[in-house]
């Protein structure tokens, strides 16, 4: 019973990391690499957020790396997490495509 609860928890964590974590990382990417050029009206404001974007992407990498390192002892746990993460990522991408 304890193993089943652990797998359900890993699946939920993977879905949350896949949706919200991926959205967080994509938002960090958008902030780190703005679509403005020097001389444009919003250039200074966009450049203010560039470090925040890199920090957001770094946080995402640290969280994903920590999760994979913590789960590396049991390959089934890693696969469970990564499959649910992939499903969450697909959900995030579909959400972004539909709302944009």
Q: How confident is the model at residue 1 (pLDDT cuts 50, 70, 90)?
A: confident
H/E element holding 78?
A: helix 75-99
Is-contact 31 50, C-beta < 8 A? yes
Task: Count how many domains the chain has.
Answer: 1
Expressed as residue numbers, the domain containing 40 is 2-99
Q: Which residue has the higher pLDDT, 55 or 2?
A: 55
The model's pTM: 0.83
Residue 82: per-residue pLDDT: 92
Residue 6: per-residue pLDDT: 87
Residue 20: per-residue pLDDT: 93
Nearest in space to 81 (alpha carbons), one of 5, 37, 18: 18
The whole-chain average pLDDT of the chain stands at: 90
Q: What is the mean pLDDT of residues 60-78?
A: 91
């Amino acid at each position: 019973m304890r193993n089943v609860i652990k797998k359900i928890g890993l699946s939920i964590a993977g879905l949350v990391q896949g949706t919200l974590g991926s959205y967080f990382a994509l938002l960090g990417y958008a902030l780190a690499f703005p679509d403005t050029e020097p001389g444009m009206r919003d250039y200074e404001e966009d450049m203010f957020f560039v470090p925040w974007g890199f920090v957001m992407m770094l946080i995402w990498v640290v969280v994903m790396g920590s999760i994979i390192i913590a789960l590396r002892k049991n390959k089934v746990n890693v696969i469970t997490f990564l499959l649910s993460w992939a499903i969450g990522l697909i959900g995030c991408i579909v959400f972004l495509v539909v709302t944009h």
